Amino acid sequence: MVTLRELTTEERYAQGHRMCTGCGAAIGMRMAMKALRGPTIVVNATGCVEVTSTPFPYTAWRIPYAHIAFENAAAVASGIEGAYKAMERKGVRKGKVDIIAIAGDGGTFDIGIQALSGALERGHDFVYLCYDNEAYMNTGIQRSGATPKGASTTTSPAGKVIPGKPEWKKDLIGICVAHGIPYAATATIAYWNDYITKLRKALEVEGPAVVHVLTPCPLGWRHDPSQTIRLSRLAVQTCYFPLYEVVNGKYSLSMKVSKPLPVVEFLKEQGRFGHLLRPEFEKEVDIIQEGVNQNWQRILGLCGISE
């Protein structure tokens, strides 16, 4: 695990950006830039981070940065990686340049999944960082493939009949691991040393690596901005968002939760789940709890842990 003494005091993601107060993605970006080990290029898909950090003619990035379309973060990162390899072959330049593709859950789970799959299959050497606030927050809080079951969004509104989004969240890491990549991991901003350590590992492997970090959104989750880190921690303590990594196909649990809190402790802090606390949707909370339990047992099994 990295320690505070090992982290640079340089701020490569500068203050003065336009992210919301308490924005988990902003915290996640600042932490991510602490993991850098040398020359780095950030490729950033359209999304919350991009629109708030690069409004022309300003930028919050103090390293080389490319804003690209919603769907092609992994494709552009692949092209940059290929270009540097070509320059090295021709003797134009020498030395490693780290490439980090950054996109939200909309640009990863849905719109960008094709480009990501192609890049992973081809084996390009870059890190893909998905900041997951569980909806298309930048464009109006629409549901995405990362939106959890039961969440109320503008395109999965909770009503008298349908209690929010009826589908379960995609297993992004499972999809990525199926490509045979050398490294993949989940993280949250509540456990900064686990997150930064995993990003360092991702940078150090040869080939593609994926880090999926949960970043609460006060606007879309409808929670108090002061509770962002607490909610990130509750997501882990309720087993809603397990922390683990996969190295060359081998799963390893990063944080064992011996006595998980009921998932309602996580849900009740957020307005997007407020309707589930009404008597008519009581069974829906039980269904979500069962889904969380099953997923936790699945992860434990993959990690070779039995309870």
Q: Write down the domain spans for the chain.
A: 4-302
Q: What is the pLDDT of residue 143?
A: 97
Q: Give the integer Cα–Cα distance in Å for 288 and 272.
A: 14
pLDDT at site 1: 84
Phi, psi of 40 (to 5 degrees): -140, 145
Q: Residue 182 in contact with residue 209, Cβ under 8 Å? A: yes
Phi-psi bin for 195: left (phi > 0), alpha (psi -120 to 50), beta? Answer: alpha
Task: Kindly state the tokens that stand for 143.
Answer: 């549901």
- Contact in structure between 49 and 105 (CB atoms under 8 Å): no
What pLDDT is stored for residue 306 in this prediction?
80
Query: What is the predicted pLDDT for the residue at 10?
Result: 86
pTM above 0.75, yes or no: yes
Say which CATH class 4-302 falls into: alpha beta
Supply the pLDDT for residue 161.
87
- What pLDDT digit, counting tens, does each position of 27-85 carry? 999 999 999 989 999 999 999 999 999 998 999 999 999 999 999 999 999 999 999 99
Token pair, residue 222, equals: 């409808």
State the pLDDT at residue 94.
Answer: 87
The confidence score (pLDDT) of residue 84 equals 95
As a whole number of Å, the end-to-end CA separation of the chain is 26
Nearest to 220 by CA among 174, 259, 165: 165
What pLDDT is stored for residue 15 in this prediction?
86
Taking 50 as the pLDDT cut, the residues of the chain under it are: none
Report the pLDDT value the prediction gives residue 167, as an integer from 0 to 100.
97
Per-residue pLDDT reduced to its tens digit, 136-149: 999 999 999 999 99
Q: Quote the CA–CA distance of 266 and 37 in Å, as a whole number.
A: 35
Residues 6 or more apart whose CB falls under 8 angstroms from that of 95 comprise 38, 39
Q: What angle do CA 257, 186, 153 make, to 5 degrees?
A: 95
3-state secondary structure 230-265: HHHHHHHHCCCCCCEEEECCEEEECCCCCCCCCCHH
Residue 6's pLDDT is 80
The confidence score (pLDDT) of residue 176 equals 98
Token pair 């970043």 is found at 215
Please report the DSSP string for 48-87 in residue order: HHHHHH--TT--SB-S-EEEE-TT-HHHHHHHHHHHHHHH
Q: Count CB neighbours of 296 within 10 A.
A: 17
pLDDT at 95: 87
